Chains A and B, each alone.
Chain A
Amino acid sequence: MTRWLQDNMPKIVLAPSFIAVMVFVYGFIAWTAWVSLTRSRLMPRYELDSFIQYERLADSPRFETAMVNLAIFGTLFIVIAMVLGLLLAILLDQKIRTEGAIRTIYLYPMALSMIVTGTAWKWILNPELGIEATVKGWGFANFEFNWLVDPDMAIYTVVLAAVWQSSGFVMALFLAGLRSVDEEIIKAAQVDGIPTWRVYSAIIIPSMAPIFLSAFIVLAHLAIKAFDLVIALTGGGPGYATDLPATYMYAMAFSRGDIGQAASSAMVMMLVVFTIVVPYLYSELRTKDD
């Protein structure tokens, strides 16, 4: 008996979480996929009706806006946050005296929830309350900064707030990466008289590739599931100019009673995640085999 327990303990301990994951993650993904193939409206119905919801999605100008916004937001957010984070990390890495204090200041936005970030930036960017009004108050009567209420520019305000929120966190990741590079190699390079920028660009940064990948994965999934920031900052507006797939899905499921549409847009979001995560997993698993 004890022998049997000993052999099977790992399985017994893992079973509950395994079952929970199978049901609550993969089971519900399958359920969503099923619903996305029906004509469900207010309540889920289970009669299959081919790809009608995906056709409706393809015809929807609002979903198109949401996908374009995701591309703009995702690309800019990831690139700018990584570049800024790396720059801040390198500057902090120069063995300066007040590093602890500065690091805390940079990391601080991370402590705020996206809702708070969004609301704060909503006030900062509001033409009648924030930056525009302040600069006008200084006497520059022609100064304009009305991105928040301009349908063509509003999505960039979302990028701005998201970068503000996340670049400190990326900095922390990179800083840890910089510190983990072997001191000996750097010292050797310095002895050889190689300039600091060359040390960074040729030795330190290339050896940080896994950190880049981690930062990318974290930022990418933040971008795809971005929801609360948009709701707090622009409410999806002006019009639906700052809609993202997540806000689209929410609107369909919870305000419109169009569960079929919501399910199909959720499936599309999941596919986007897969296109990012699957190559990552593949590369991870392959390196282990080597």
Chain B
Amino acid sequence: MKSYVLSTASAIAVCAAGAVSADGHAEAEVLHYWTSGGEAKSVAVLQEEFAANGGTWTDMPVAGGGGDAAGTALRARVLSGNAPTAAQIKGPAIQEWFAEGVLADISSVAEANDWANLLPASIAAHMQCEGTWCAAPVNVHRVDWIWANTEILAANGIEMPTTWDEFNAAAETLQAAGIIPLAHGGQAWQDATVFETVVLGLGGAEFYQAALVDLDPEALTSDTMIAAFDQMRTMRGYVDPNFSGRDWNLATAMVMNGEAAFQIMGDWAKGEFLAAGKVPGVDFTCASTPGDGYLYNVDSFAMFSVEGDGKAAGQELLAELIMGPNFQEVFNMNKGSIPARTDVDLSGFDECAQISAADMASTNDGGTLMPSYAHGMALFGAQSGAITDVVTAHFNSDMSSEEAVQMLANAVANSR
């Protein structure tokens, strides 16, 4: 309640400082693609806070396609000159939209609330467009997680692997015992998710940065990259024959039901475990994938240039609330991710979220906090798509690793 009063007070302060319409009425139309049960509940938290602060919220949810449909709707709205107040966009796409000249500047809110010091530096950089603030982060999902069925590991005398060799050894043991070592869904983005954790694990953060963020041709064709594809080929042997096209949550269910031992997937998988009443540390174990570093996937709202004082006020209130400690806490507890701001009390969060937050802080200090390429945080869509095409083509055929790195270099060159 106290934080409620506080955020209300600060919101009023912001309204007073910024442009306010005659009756001081803040309005916002928000385009997002959080439409599944848990997600809708999470976004309702924001709606309620917005209304409690005297704003009028117009919801524009666009379901489906992991945001593809929402992107199409957004494009149509912007092309017709009727952009929403805020839209759910993330990663370099924010800068791409800024380059089209349609994003608004919310620096006044960001500076008044000291966002620069509340956010890890690399995440803050995603929210900025040529020096101004143009988006507000909602959460941080960690991508490089490995989830395991505790019972299976204990029964086979296996520890959580800390290197990829240990992982392979554990997988061999499990396979000999007749258990599927790795639950995997054969969709291109899931192949890419596994691939980026392997690249980070085998090459380290510096190599990851060079290969999958800077797209350095030398790194892309290096021996380390060949080793990464070799590891992918090895892991191809650890998934069940029927993995093609399987949804990620069905793969999570395989771990839950004891059909498979491990799954490599972002922390949205935790939501599946929790929803099934499983307890972290008891029924399932979470650990970062082998190797150092942290791959993040940050959901955020970009603010569009809109006309009218009411909308401008709504935009500022929205930005303020999104980064508010109350929303960050409640929303992320619902969604399974961790708050983007680093000063939120995590005592109410589960074990995995606490590990995630601690690792985010330490990797931020160590310079190994990396954007996830597979989830659109590191590259433009065309570039990350080109890489994913090669990864999934290699994983689903008998292509050699040497062939794959050559194809990778060509695809990246072709996508620029």
Instruction: Identify the A interface with B (CB < 8 A).
Output: 41-44, 56, 59-62, 122, 126-128, 146, 148-149, 151, 154, 234-241, 251-252, 254-258, 261
Contacts and interface: CB of A to CB of B under 8 A. Distances in A.
A271 B386 CA distance: 25
B308 interface: no
B241 A237 contact: no
Interface string B386-416: 0001001101110000000001001100110
B35 interface: no
Given A60-B411, A149-B245, A257-B71, 15 more contacts: A41-B96, A43-B79, A61-B407, A122-B245, A128-B242, A149-B241, A234-B244, A234-B245, A237-B186, A237-B396, A238-B245, A239-B392, A254-B72, A255-B68, A257-B381
The interface residues of chain B, by DSSP majority, are classed as helix
A42 B393 contact: no
Interface in B32-83: 65-66, 68-69, 71-72, 75, 78-79
A115 to B, nearest CB: 13
A61 B393 contact: yes
B282 to A, nearest CB: 29
A257 B68 CA distance: 9
B385 interface: yes
20 contacts: A41-B96, A43-B79, A61-B411, A127-B241, A148-B244, A148-B245, A149-B245, A151-B396, A154-B244, A234-B245, A237-B244, A237-B245, A239-B191, A239-B393, A241-B397, A252-B382, A254-B72, A257-B71, A257-B93, A258-B381
B381 A238 contact: no
B380 A149 contact: no
A151 B414 contact: no
Nearest to B99: A42
Contact of A59 (B69, B93, B395, B410): B410
Contacts of B389: 61-62, 240
Contacts of B72: 254
A44 B396 CA distance: 34
Q: Which of B79, B245, B397 has the most CB of A within 10 A?
A: B245
A218 to B, nearest CB: 29
A255 B242 contact: no
B243 A149 contact: yes
The interface residues of chain A, by DSSP majority, are classed as loop
A262 B73 CA distance: 17
A256 B385 contact: yes
Contacts of B71: 254-255, 257
Interface of B: 65-66, 68-69, 71-72, 75, 78-79, 93, 96-97, 100, 186-188, 191, 241-245, 380-382, 385, 389, 392-393, 395-397, 407, 410-411, 414-415
Q: Which of A254, A256, A261 has the most CB of B within 10 A?
A: A256
Contacts of A255: 65-66, 68, 71, 381, 385
Contacts of B69: 254
A185 to B, nearest CB: 53
Given A42-B100, A43-B75, A126 B242 contact: yes
A41 B382 CA distance: 8
A253 B276 CA distance: 37
A146 B93 contact: no
Contacts of B96: 41-42, 257
Given A43-B79, A127-B242, A254-B68, A237 B188 contact: yes
B396 A241 contact: yes
B187 A235 contact: yes
A239 B382 contact: no
Contacts of A43: 75, 78-79, 100
A59 B414 contact: yes
A239 B188 contact: yes
B414 A237 contact: no
A270 to B, nearest CB: 21
- A-B pairs, 5 with minimum CB distance: A239-B396, A149-B244, A257-B381, A256-B381, A258-B382
A256 B189 CA distance: 12
A198 B395 CA distance: 53
A235 B382 contact: no
Contacts of A60: 411, 414
Nearest to B382: A258
A235 B245 contact: yes
A280 to B, nearest CB: 34
A237 B93 CA distance: 26
Contacts of B93: 42, 257
A125 to B, nearest CB: 11
Contacts of A235: 187, 245
Contacts of B186: 149, 237-239
B385 to A, nearest CB: 4
A237 B392 CA distance: 9
A255 to B, nearest CB: 5
A241 B393 CA distance: 8
A62 B191 CA distance: 16
Contact of B392 (A44, A122, A240, A261): A240
B242 A149 contact: yes
Contacts of B414: 56, 59-60
Contacts of A41: 96, 380-382
